[in-house]
Amino acid sequence: MAETSEVIGHYVQQQGEGGYQWVPALDQSTELFNAVIGDDISRVEQLYTGHGGSSTHVCLFWGESKEQTGAPRVEAKSRTLAAIATQHGALRVLSYLLSKGVNPRSEGLYEFIESSNPNAPTIRAMLDDAAGNFAPAPGEAPAGPGAHGARTATPDAHGSGAAGQQGYAQQELDQADLENLPYSTADLTRPEYATDTFRMYCFKVLRCSKRYAHDWRACPFAHPTENARRRDPRETRYSSLVCPDYRQGCCVRGDTCQYAHGVFESWLHPSRYRTQLCKDQEKCDRPVCFFAHTISELRTPVDSFVPNPEERLRVPQATQVVLGIAPPLALQMSAGGADTAYAADQGPPVVPDLL
Ligand SMILES: [Zn+2]
Ligand SMILES: [Zn+2]
Ligand SMILES: [Zn+2]
C-alpha cells in the first residue's frame, strides 16, 4: 500500500463563536477532499481508485502564529480519507471506507469525532462495528458495541469473513417480519441507528462494514444481494408509492425506477417516515416502526416526488438489450427479439442480477 504525501486539503483559521476554528478551504483543495467532505460517495468511489486503502494525505492548516500576532503560520498534518470523513460527519463516505477494510483503531479515527456533530453517536457506533473486524491490540479492550455478541457465530448467522458476505440469503423484510424476529434486534433499535437521519438516508442504504458472522436481518446496514437494500432517496429520485411491477416480482427499470421498491423504500422515504402516529403509540414494541409515537416524533413530509406518468412504460436502454427487446440493428433479423421476449406463455421477463 503506497503512502502518498500529496496535499489534498487546506484549512484556514477563522474566528467563530467559540474561539478559533479550522474551516476547510474547499476552493483551494482537491476534488477528492471536496468529495469526502461533501459526502459525495459516487465521486469518492471514482477518485479513490489508486489511492490505496489507508494512504495518508497531507492537509495544510493556515493560521496565525501563536508567538507573533499577525504573523502567518502553516502546519502540515497527515490525514487519511477516513479521518477526514469522520471529522466532517460524512456518513456515506465513512461507511464506504470502513467496508473497504479501514481499521478505525490503527487509523486513530476516534480522535477525529467532533462531538458537536449531530451524527457523532452514529459515527462512533459505525467505528465500533468496523473495529470488531480487527483483533484488539494487547492490553486493549475489545471493540465496543460492535462486540456485543455480534461476533459470536450463531447457527442462524449468515456469512463469516469477507467471503461469507456473498452467502447472504435473498430475502425481503416487511413490517410483519420485523415484528416477529426470532433473534436479538439490539442493533436495529440502537439509538445511534434510530435517528431520523439514519433511518431515512442510511438504514439498509449504507454498506455493512462487518466482516464477522452476524445476522444481516438484524443489521441496519445493507449487504450484497440483500433485497431489503434501499436506494438513497437523495441520490435517486423515487416516490414512496410502491412500484406495481416490483410487487408483481419484476421491474425492468431496476435501480432507475421512480417508484419505491419494497416496504423499506416506501415507508422510510422522507415523504412518509414518521409522518403519521403509530396506533400503539408509546406501547409500540416494533424494532423498526415507520410511525411516530409522540407528537414530537412527528415529521413534516419532505421530498415528495411524483413519478412521471410514462414511467411504467419506460424500459431503460441497457435493459432492452439484455432482454432482447431492442437488439442492435444487425441482430434484429435473427430469431428472438421483441416477440419472443414477451411471449404470453413465458410470464414476465426475468431481469438479470446485474440490473
Ligand atoms: Zn451487517
Ligand atoms: Zn420499479
Ligand atoms: Zn410504532
- Residue 335 pLDDT: 36
Query: How many angstroms does the Cα of residue 58 sit away from the middle of ligand 1?
Result: 32
Residue 130 shares a structural domain with residue 196: no
| Whether 90 and 188 share a structural domain | no
Ligand nearest to the CA of 297: 3
Domain of 21, in residue numbers: 7-135
Distance, CA of 26 to CA of 37 (rounded, Å): 9
Q: Using the predicted structure, report yes or no on whether residue 165 has a pLDDT greater than 80.
A: no
Mean pLDDT of 14-21: 82
Tens of pLDDT, residues 220-254: 999 987 888 999 999 999 999 999 999 998 899 99
Report the range of poorest mean pLDDT among 65-69, 175-179, 255-259, 295-299. 175-179
Half-sphere exposure of 15 (CA within 13 A, CB side): 1
Q: 214 and 341, same structural domain?
A: no
pLDDT at 203 over 50: yes
* Ligand at shortest distance from the CA of 165: 1
Amino acid at 45: E
Cα of 219 vs centre of ligand 1, distance in Å, is 5
The number of folded domains in the chain is: 3
The answer to whether residue 355 sits within a structural domain is no
**Is residue 340 one of the residues assigned to a domain?**
yes
Cα-Cα-Cα-Cα torsion 33, 18, 296, 122, nearest 10 degrees, comes to: 40
Distance in Å, CA 119 to ligand 2 centroid: 31
Task: Please give the distance, rounded to the nearest whole angstrom, from the Cα atom of residue 276 to the centre of ligand 3.
Answer: 10
C-alpha 284 to ligand 1 mean position (Å) = 25
Of the candidates 135, 156, 189, which is a domain's last residue? 135
Domain identity same for 17 and 124: yes
Report how far ligand 2's centroid is from the alpha carbon of 277 (Å): 28
Residue 208 lies in a domain: yes
Instruction: Kindly state whether residues 209 and 83 are assigned to the same domain.
Output: no
- 278 and 331 in a single domain? The answer is no
Predicted pLDDT of residue 324: 60
Burial of 350 (0-12, 13-18, 19+ CB in 10 A): exposed
CA–CA dist 210, 286 (Å, integer): 24
Kindly state whether residues 273 and 286 are assigned to the same domain: yes
Looking at the CA of 290, name the nearest ligand.
Answer: 3
Measured from the alpha carbon of residue 242, the closest ligand is 2
The reply to whether 75 falls in a domain is yes
Going from the Cα of 292 to the center of ligand 1, the distance in angstroms, rounded, reads: 26
Interatomic CA distance for residues 130 and 110, integer angstroms: 12
Give the percent of the chain with pLDDT over 90. Answer: 51
Q: Taking the model in full, what pTM does it have?
A: 0.75
Average pLDDT over residues 40-47: 90
Cβ atoms of residues 339 and 271 within 8 Å: no
Residue 210 lies in a domain: yes
Distance in Å, CA 20 to ligand 1 centroid: 39
Residue 119: CB atoms within 10 Å: 21
Instruction: Indicate whether 193 and 115 sit together in one domain.
Output: no
Between 6 and 43, the more confident residue is: 43
Ligand nearest to the CA of 288: 3
Same domain, 67 and 95: yes
**Ligand 1 centroid to residue 259 C-alpha, Å:** 26
Q: Which helix (H) or strand (E) holds 78?
A: strand 72-80
Shared domain check, 325 and 310: no
**Distance from Cα 122 to the centre of ligand 3, integer Å:** 22
pLDDT-based confidence at 194, cuts 50/70/90? very high
Give the ligand whose atoms come closest to the C-alpha of residue 207: 1
Task: Look at residue 47 in the predicted model and tell me its pLDDT.
Answer: 87
In the reported structure, the alpha carbon of residue 207 is separated from the centroid of ligand 1 by a whole-number distance in angstroms of: 8
- The average confidence (pLDDT) of the chain is 79
**Residues near ion ligand 1 (Cβ under 5 Å):** 208, 210, 219, 221
User: Residue 214's pLDDT is what?
Assistant: 85
Q: Greater confidence, 140 or 71?
A: 71
Distance 163 CA to ligand 3 centre (A): 36
The domain that holds 119 is classified in CATH as 1.25.40
The bound ligand whose nearest atom lies closest to the alpha carbon of 256 is: 2
Nearest ligand, CA of residue 206? 1
- Domain for residue 2, yes or no? no
Give residue 216's pLDDT band: very low, low, confident or very high (50, 70, 90): confident
Q: Which ligand is nearest to the CA of 132?
A: 1
> Nearest ligand to the C-alpha of residue 294?
3
Interval between CA 277 and ligand 3 midpoint (Å) = 8
Ligand 3 centroid vs 151 CA: distance in angstroms? 29
Is residue 63 domain-shared with residue 125, that is, in the same domain? yes
Whether residue 144 is contained in a domain is answered as no
Mark whether 82 and 106 lie in a shared domain. yes
* Higher-confidence position of 259 and 168: 259
Q: Which ligand is nearest to the CA of 229?
A: 1
What is the grid cell recorded at 216?
Answer: 444481516
Q: Distance, CA 168 to ligand 1 centroid (Å)?
A: 10
Whose atoms come closest to the Cα of 316: which ligand?
Answer: 2
Dist. CA 317–CA 313, nearest whole Å: 12
Is residue 157 domain-resident?
no
